[in-house]
Structure formats: C-alpha cells, structure tokens
Structure 1
Amino acid sequence: MEPKWLEWAKQLQSIAQAGLTYSKDVYDLERFEEIRKISIEIMSQHTNVDHKTIKDLFANETGYATPKVDIRAVVFRYKKILMVREKNDGGWSLPGGWGDIGLTPSEVAVKEVKEESGFDVKALKLIGVLDKKCHPHPPSPYHVYKLFIQCEIIGGQPKTGVETNAVEFFAEDELPPLSIERNTESQMELAFKYLHNPNETVYFD
C-alpha cells in the first residue's frame, strides 16, 4: 500500500546501511555512502523535509537494517475496547509504543498500558503480527512490524500519561477518530474479531 518512491528509498537505505557496516574497501564505502545520499534525496523530494532532519531520523543507524517493532495492547472491558487520545495528533489509539531493549513484548504491552491509561494489566495472548506496509497507515520512513497483544485489566484507575490526554472505552460501533499512524479502522475490526471469537488463530501480515 505504500508509494513506490518510499519503498525504493527504504530499500536503498537498507542496502547502504549494510554496505557501510560490512564493507572494508574504501571505494565500496564511498559508493554505499552515495547510495545513502540518494535515499535521503528521494525522501526529501517527496516530503519537503530538509536533508539533515531526514539523515538524523532515517539514515543514522548502523549495523544490519531490520524492521522496528511497535507493540499495541488490546484491552476489553464489558465488550468495549480501551483507547487513549494522543496529544500530538488528537487521534485515538490502542495503548502502545516501540519495543524496548531488555523487555519482552508482553512486558512492553503492560508497561505502555500503565503509562498511557493508568490501568494495570496482564498479557494474555498474541493476536496479530502485522507488517505496517500492508495496511492503510500514512507513509513511514521505517519498516515496522506491529504486534497486537490481548491483555486483561487487573487493577488501576483511568489516568492520562505524558503522551495522552484522555482515556476511554469504546464499543465496536462507536469508535472515535483514530490516530491512523498507530492503528487503522481495519485493525480495530481485527481486535474485535478476537473478542467475538476467542479461539481465532493469530493473524499475520
């Protein structure tokens, strides 16, 4: 679903990053640096973001390029789903965020729910592993895998966090405007599918 220019830019960046990591020949290193510059130029031309910002955000990593991991907690109460309103775009999302070094996916889900909503939860099961490029999110400079983990409330009270300014539960037919950078309408439908069919197999891609 992502535009071709974005796919090309990310592929070039990945090739350049691997080449700069593993190549020893000075001439090869120069070529890979040129490839990285081309990937930055593509991003800049299509986003109107300056080269330095793109390089800092998009082309600053070292080592073999791998996807980032975004973890979202799916929490139901009385057949309604827990959502938080994001301060930066005003849209609503499932509690979650980037995976943290040193924490398991379920630990990240539990931590993010507490930080963003105030509730204490325990992780129950993985319900989906989605490739962001296969879903109707806005274009992203990163290749992202999204893990959806169903959780159960065991305590706590509604409380906003540093990045959120509202906490609510919503029925399937009354969902609020979504932060589609974080979750899409089809992904919310997928979450409710597991509420109605607890034995559904894990969704992937």
Structure 2
Amino acid sequence: MTETAVTRIDHYNDPDAPPANSVVPSTTAVVTDTEDRIVLIRRRDNDLWALPGGGMDLGESIVDTAVREVKEETGLDVEVTGLIGVYTNPHHVMAYTDGEVRQQFSLCFTTRLLGGTLLIDSESTDIAWTPQEQLDAISMHPSMRLRINHYREHRPTPYLG
C-alpha cells in the first residue's frame, strides 16, 4: 500500500474558502543567531519560507509546543522568552487533502538560542539563517510575513488578532 502525503492550501481572506471544521492550537517561533539572522524553513506542503512551528500535542503546554517544534523542524534548542502575538484570523483557513479545514490559531514566540545544529526535517525542503534585510524578497505566506513584521517592530505589547 502506498501512502500519500497530506498537502494543504492556505486560504487567506478568501471569500471562496471552505468553512473551517477544526481548530488546533499551534505555535511559530522567531529564532535568531548572534548576527540577528532569523532561521526560516522552506515548507514541503506549500513551497514557501516560514518560521518553524506546528500544532500542540495533548499533554504539553503551548510553550513546550514551540520548543519541540523548533527542535523537530530545525535541529535547534531554544527557550521561549516572550510573546510576539496571538493570530486567530477566522478568515485564514488551511484546507488539507484529507478533508480537514483548520482555522488559524497560532501563538508566535520570541526565543533564545541555546544550541543545536541546523537540520532539515521531513516537513521541509530547505533551511536557512536569513539576514533581516533579505526578508522582504523571500517568498512567504502573508500570515508569516505579518508575524515577522510584528517581531521586527519590537512592539511593546503582543499583537492580539
């Protein structure tokens, strides 16, 4: 039996998007190095650059989710240091080929790099330390760009949206 990969289509403020049928708390994390570059992964499911992150598992805290997802997707060890924002736009849904249509519910965190070595996992095709002056030219989903822009603004309080 051959297993087929589940892929997704992001619908962002799309009036023709299918209605959501699930919501999963998830995280993204901004990980920087000593040169203030941000680590980005190139996602296998949509071929766009993104912050590392993913869905929360039963039995873990949302902070534990961020730390685990960064480790799984990048090979890096981090600790969470702050909250960039809460992203719950009901007009941003991800339609998966298995029938799930997930409404966005993501918390984006700042982190401190503790160690590790960059590694690509099964969900990515590439990984890179990206200089911040190159971020605007990189192909990424608007929701990822929003999180990165909020980080770069050094907002005094988290984004709530």
Into which bin does the TM-score normalised by the smaller protein fall? 0.7 to 0.9
Aligned equivalents of 1:91 and 1:3: distance in 2? 18
- Give the match's secondary structure for 1:174: helix
Normalising by structure 2, what TM-score?
0.76
Identity, % of aligned pairs? 24
- Greater per-residue strand proportion: 2
Aligned equivalents of 1:168 and 1:2: distance in 2? 29
Aligned equivalents of 1:74 and 1:184: distance in 2? 11
Change (3 A) 1:5 1:92: closer
- Give the match's secondary structure for 2:133: coil
Partner of 1:155: 115
Change (3 A) 1:6 1:167: closer
- Give the match's secondary structure for 1:169: strand
- Give the match's secondary structure for 2:47: coil
- Give the match's secondary structure for 1:88: coil
- Give the match's secondary structure for 1:133: coil
Normalising by structure 1, what TM-score?
0.61
Which entry has the higher C-alpha Rg, 1 or 2? 1
Which among 41, 59, 68 is matched to residue 102 of structure 1? Answer: 59
- Give the match's secondary structure for 1:142: strand
Aligned counterparts, 1:33-44, within 5 A? none
RMSD, aligned α-carbons:
2.4
Deviation of residue 5 (structure 1)? Answer: 5.4
User: Are 2:73 and 1:116 equivalent residues in the alignment?
Assistant: yes
Deviation of residue 144 (structure 1)? Answer: 2.1
Aligned equivalents of 1:131 and 1:193: distance in 2? 20
Deviation of residue 2 (structure 1)? Answer: 3.0
Q: Figure out how many residues of one structure are paired with residues of the other and give that number.
A: 142
Change (3 A) 1:152 1:90: same
Aligned equivalents of 1:95 and 1:106: distance in 2? 13
Q: Which has the higher contact order (CA 8 A, sep 6+)?
A: 2
Aligned counterparts, 1:123-162, within 5 A? 123-133=80-90, 137=92, 140=95, 141-162=101-122
What stretches of structure 2 of length at least 5 have no aligned partner?
Answer: 1-11, 96-100
Deviation of residue 139 (structure 1)? Answer: 5.9
Deviation of residue 165 (structure 1)? Answer: 2.5
Which among 123, 128, 148 is matched to residue 188 of structure 1? Answer: 148
Aligned equivalents of 2:94 and 2:77: distance in 1? 33
Deviation of residue 184 (structure 1)? Answer: 3.1
